[in-house]
Amino acid sequence: MLGLGSLIFSLPHFSSGKYHYGAKLEDTCQIPGTSSTNFTCSASTKSSLPNYLYVFILGQLLLGVGGTPLYTLGTAFIDDSVPKHKSSLYIGIGYAMSLLGPAIGYVLGGQLLNVYIDIQIPESMKIDQDDPRWLGAWWIAFLACFFAIWLLIIPFTCFPKQLPGTAKIQAEKISETHNDGSEVLVETKNIGKSFKDFPVALLILLKNPVLMSLIIASSSEALVATGFATFLPKFIENQFGKTSSFSATLGGLVLIPAAALGQIISGILVSKCRMDCKSIIKFMIGTCSVALILNTVFLFAKCGNEPFAGVSETYNGTGTLYNLTAPCNANCRCLRSIYYPVCGRDEVQYFSPCFAGCSSHLFNNMKKTYHNCSCIGKPERENGSEDFLYEAVPGKCPTQCKFLPLFLTFFFFAVVFTFMAVTPTTVAILRCVPDKQRSFALGVQSVFLRLLGTIPGPILFGVAIDNSCTLWDINECKTKGACWVYDNERMAYLLMGISAACKIITIIFVVIAVWLYKPPPASAALSQKDLETVSAIHT
């Protein structure tokens, strides 16, 4: 199912034909009377490309169906096969390895965006990554995953139902199920043998207050984790003025190692300290509290916006705020649908060379520069020469903000402590429910995790980021598109607010879980002689 989902994700590239990059863009100021590409509203021309959204949804659905059992049946299989005090270590390693894929995905995905979508750039076209028509080869990774995942079918079919020694390990385990009578009910009525037991088995889990508190806490953490996994590159790109490719790579290099490290460290600590269920939940309170404190990095490592003509700067006082048109470019026939930022020598960013009033461009050592820009203020003369006084270069202006290393350092440790709660949460869930319901409990957690965490997380973060937009793309048909410019401080405060609120919810429900948890009576623990007898019977 995972392989099929990946294959379906890549299919739109092959069925939609070659990429049409459109006509040559006249990005400079076009004086009336000169020939230029005529852009008019063509709302009547309908494209079939939006229908591919449903293909992507189908691919995502199959990826979810195929991936979920690895975290439910797979985790329970690990827990069954190793001694109790080592379970957290193995689960931590397993979860850390599940982050290796996203790490490679972030890095390779960022690099693949530097490859042209059809691999070979047509000879008749001069286009580079700075061109607004550029599209990267997004589909290659999905095709590679399809082949790689299907190769894994061979080793997976070789796994036995039980690994050697599992029976002895199971006999030596002492139950830590929350003492609400559920374990006795499951054992006496043999619940779980038939599919007809599904409603009763589900009700038993839903009535377990410790389990439900841990599930809500983990869902709240998942909301933040998926939100940042989706939008951290966008945050870095806008706050610190980096390219989308570099931001995606940098985001992956911070998020993935930190998350893997957090899960492995917590697995080792729980294993070495031989923590019982209550101690594990208390450990989670500590890690979540530290993560909450570290999340305040958004308050002091944020950046203001660089000067942007028509947004935060008024074309040297000749224009007005939130209006890209000024007297210096009024006759240039500039298009708002073509966002091609340039940085002027006055260190002000402009929406495009056209809006900067640039009427010509030159190539110098393959580097494009714009000249005769009527909107760009005069810099100081160099050696009495007036050459290149009105000059601009493609791309955003370099940010003066130097907080990126500080932000990445604090955010790295915030992610470490956030993910230090993931492995203990899974182990605590496995411990607080009857042994026969462990896989089912992880399945229930997975459902809540999607409904309350991983689905609303990116949506909530996306709404927050859109809410900080100061300049939207509006085409000739007056249709609203993507956001071009964001209010950096507002974005930082909104993400900080969502993150902090979710962390507080997590801590509250973990505290509730440790308060409500009742360990089984001491008489339930087997003596060493009983263990040896049971072990001998199983052997």
**Residue-wise pLDDT tens for the chain (539 aa)?**
999 999 999 898 888 877 776 655 667 777 654 444 445 565 555 677 788 889 999 999 999 888 888 887 888 888 888 887 788 888 888 888 887 777 777 777 778 877 887 777 766 666 666 666 777 788 888 998 899 999 999 988 888 877 887 777 777 666 667 666 666 777 776 676 777 778 888 888 888 889 999 999 999 999 998 888 888 888 888 888 777 778 877 887 888 888 888 888 988 898 888 888 888 889 999 999 999 999 888 888 777 777 888 887 888 777 777 788 888 888 887 877 778 888 888 888 888 888 888 888 887 766 778 888 888 876 555 554 444 455 788 888 877 778 888 888 888 999 999 999 888 898 888 888 887 788 888 888 888 988 998 889 999 999 999 998 888 877 666 777 778 788 888 888 898 899 999 999 999 999 998 898 887 775 444 444 444 554 555 55
Q: Which residues pair with 349 in a beta bridge?
A: 308, 343
CB 234 within 8 A of CB 482: no
Side-chain-facing half-sphere of 467: CA atoms under 13 Å:
13
Q: How much is the pLDDT for 527?
A: 45
Residue whose C-alpha is closest to residue 118's, from 130, 127, 106, 107: 127
Phi, psi values for residue 380, rounded to 5°? -70, 145
Residue whose C-alpha is closest to residue 352's, from 340, 363, 343: 340
CB 106 within 8 A of CB 256: yes
Residue whose C-alpha is closest to residue 253's, from 398, 403, 109: 109
CB 236 within 8 A of CB 471: no
Length of the chain: 539
Q: How many CB atoms neighbour CB 11 within 10 A?
A: 17
Q: How much is the pLDDT for 528?
A: 47
